[in-house]
Amino acid sequence: MMFAEADDERAKKLADALTARLTQRKVDEETATRAWIADARANAGAAAAARRYENVEARFGADRTAREAEYIERIANL
């Protein structure tokens, strides 16, 4: 009987340890997933900001080039 009780206690401890590990693994996976989602959102935000900057730079860059050409022409005509 003592061996059976010892085996039952050991089995319970092993089951508790396994449950704790599985629970921790699930928490770790959820944490990793949340971190991945946050990183993906940040990267998407950075990409959108870069596209906006490129659009603004292209628009103002074209305006700047036209103004510079106009200034050069004015200076040449002085």
- Whole-model pTM? 0.46
Confidence of residue 71 (pLDDT cuts 50, 70, 90): confident
Q: Mind spelling out the 3-state secondary structure of the chain? A: CHHHHHHHHHHHHHHHHHHHHHHHHHHHHHHHHHHHHHHHHHHHHHHHHHHHHHHHHHHHHHHHHHHHHHHHHHHHHC
Per-residue pLDDT of 49-60, as tens digits, reads 778 878 777 777
Q: What Rg value do the Cα atoms of the chain yield, rounded?
A: 33
The answer to whether residue 2 scores a pLDDT higher than 70 is no
Task: Tell me how far CA of residue 42 lies from CA of 29, 32, 54, in angstroms.
Answer: 20, 15, 18
